[in-house]
Amino acid sequence: MAKLYFRYGAMNSGKSTALLQAAYNYEERGQHVLLAKPLIDTKGASQIESRLGMTREVDFLIGGDDDARALFRQERERKRRDAGASLLPEEPADVACLLVDEAQFLSEAQIDDLFRIAVEDGIPVLAYGIRNDFRTHAFPGSARLLAIAHTLEELKTICRCGRKAVFNGRRIGGRFVFDGDQVAIDGGGDELVTTYESLCGNCYLEESGGRLG
Ligand SMILES: [Zn+2]
């Protein structure tokens, strides 16, 4: 049975790198994959960017109200047609898996779509994302993935103190902030640039003055 996987981690835990590596591993074996991400992520628009400098264009973007399963089926058909033209008889034409970056930004219904792609369409789905926001609450997509994914895998990264990082501290112009919208839109000059630091529970509470959420 095909499964829905949620590979989650704090910011900077190498999720996009892991995703691109997974795609490469499939393709090295002559298999086809589809890559997708939510439309909300304006950074790099339609590309998956790893911090190591690798980038790759996604096959499709999932808009806020889109039916992710319908988009997948459309792309799966296109891939089959494209592959079919140049295939040897023993080569597979179908896609081997769907890889989704920034899955925390998908809606609950879209995560349900991913679940159905795995269970009803029989294609494994590997969703990569951040578990919680800068105020330590789960993103809607992540909450749903944590609830229904068949397999949860943590991608670990280290806090500045050496402990495992589990939170994502938000800085604006270098200063930690603990209020604001779940998704930050960058604007203004350098003094307003939003960055994130992966933090362990101890360092998060130290920076927030004991506040959690
Ligand atoms: Zn720490």
Task: Report pLDDT digits (tens) over 124-168.
Answer: 999 999 999 999 999 999 999 999 999 999 999 999 999 999 999
97 has binding-site annotation:
no
pLDDT tens profile 76-123: 999 888 876 665 655 677 899 999 999 999 999 999 999 999 999 999
Q: H-helix or E-strand containing 55?
A: strand 55-57
Considering all CA atoms of the chain, what is the largest pairwise distance in Å, rounded to the nearest integer? 64
| For range 42-69, the mean pLDDT | 88
pLDDT at 12: 86
Query: Please, what's the b/e burial string for 176-185 (b: 16 or more CB within 10 A of its CB; e: otherwise)?
Result: bbbeeeeebe
pLDDT at 66: 96
74 has binding-site annotation:
no
11 CA from centroid of ligand 1 (Å): 14
Q: How far does Cα 194 stand from its chain's mean position?
A: 19
20 CA from centroid of ligand 1 (Å): 28
Q: H-helix or E-strand containing 84?
A: helix 68-85
Confidence tier at 177 by pLDDT (50, 70, 90): very high
Distance between CA 156 and CA 163 in Å, rounded? 10
159 has binding-site annotation:
yes
Is 98 within 8 Å of 34 (Cβ atoms)?
Answer: yes
pLDDT at 42: 63
Query: Please, what's the b/e burial string for 194-210 (b: 16 or more CB within 10 A of its CB; e: otherwise)?
Result: bebbbbbeebbeebbee
Confidence tier at 41 by pLDDT (50, 70, 90): low
CA-based torsion, 129, 133, 134, 137: positive or negative? negative
Active-site residue identified among 57, 75, 90, 102: 102
**Is 102 labeled as catalytic in the residue annotation?**
yes
Confidence tier at 44 by pLDDT (50, 70, 90): low
2 CA from centroid of ligand 1 (Å): 37
61 CA from centroid of ligand 1 (Å): 35
200 has binding-site annotation:
yes
Q: Which residues is 164 bridged to in the sheet?
A: 158
Please indicate whether residue 50 or residue 85 has the higher confidence score (pLDDT): 50
Q: Name the residue type at position 14.
A: G
Q: H-helix or E-strand containing 207?
A: helix 201-208
Stated pTM of the model: 0.92
pLDDT at 146: 98
